[in-house]
Amino acid sequence: MGRARRDKGALELQVLTVLARAAEPMPARQVQDALGDDLAYTTVMTTLGRLFDKGALTRSATGRAFAYEVVGDQRTVDAAQTARRMRQLLEAGPDRAVALQHFVSELSPQDEAVLTELLARLDAEREQP
């Protein structure tokens, strides 16, 4: 019987957590070992590459390989995990618009201001060539 497919986002968060807890940048083989799973090396490399492309990791050459490090800290990883859970809940619900409406209506004034600023910044980034 084959292995169950893992959600790509879950693996990315596991990799980020491993790297955030590391004392120094880690090569892919060490990340693979730290995950303690029977993941293929190529799967770990692909995940590291995707996270690097997204700007979540930095890498530095160590011989013929790269060593990877999280951009940010454990708080950044925790925030990414929270955002992922929020997205999953939205996707599982019957009506995203209604769920978002209720979510926004229950925000504190401070959180509402943060959300408004983030949306304005996202709009400005999208308008840039």
Q: What is the pLDDT of residues 51-71, one digit of tens each?
A: 999 888 999 999 999 999 999
User: Do 101 and 128 belong together in one domain?
Assistant: yes
pLDDT band at 1 (very low <50, low <70, confident <90, very high): very low
pLDDT above 70 (res 101): yes
pLDDT above 80 (res 112): yes
User: Do 50 and 108 belong together in one domain?
Assistant: no
User: Do 69 and 83 belong together in one domain?
Assistant: yes
CA-CA distance, 82 to 58, in Å (whole number)?
Answer: 22
User: Do 24 and 59 belong together in one domain?
Assistant: yes
User: Do 29 and 76 belong together in one domain?
Assistant: yes
User: Do 100 and 78 belong together in one domain?
Assistant: no
pLDDT above 60 (res 127): yes
Three-state DSSP state, 57: strand
How many structural domains compose the chain?
2
User: Do 88 and 98 belong together in one domain?
Assistant: no
Main-chain dihedrals φ then ψ at residue 27, nearest 5 degrees: -75, 165
Q: What is the pLDDT of residue 5?
A: 63
User: Do 77 and 101 belong together in one domain?
Assistant: no
Query: What mean pLDDT is reported for the chain?
Result: 88
For the chain, the farthest-separated pair of C-alpha atoms sits apart, in whole angstroms, at 53
User: Do 80 and 100 belong together in one domain?
Assistant: no
Q: Which domain holds residue 73?
A: 1-92
DSSP 8-state secondary structure symbol assigned to residue 71: S
Q: What is the pLDDT of residue 43?
A: 93
- Joined tokens for residue 10: 């879950």
| Strand ranges inside the chain, DSSP E | 26-27, 57-62, 65-70
Q: What is the pLDDT of residue 60?
A: 95
pLDDT band at 128 (very low <50, low <70, confident <90, very high): confident
Within 8 A by CB and 6+ apart from 103, the residues are none
User: Do 47 and 7 belong together in one domain?
Assistant: yes
User: Do 28 and 77 belong together in one domain?
Assistant: yes
Main-chain dihedrals φ then ψ at residue 29, nearest 5 degrees: -60, -40
**Residue 45 and residue 59 in contact, taking contact as beta carbons nearer than 8 Å:** no
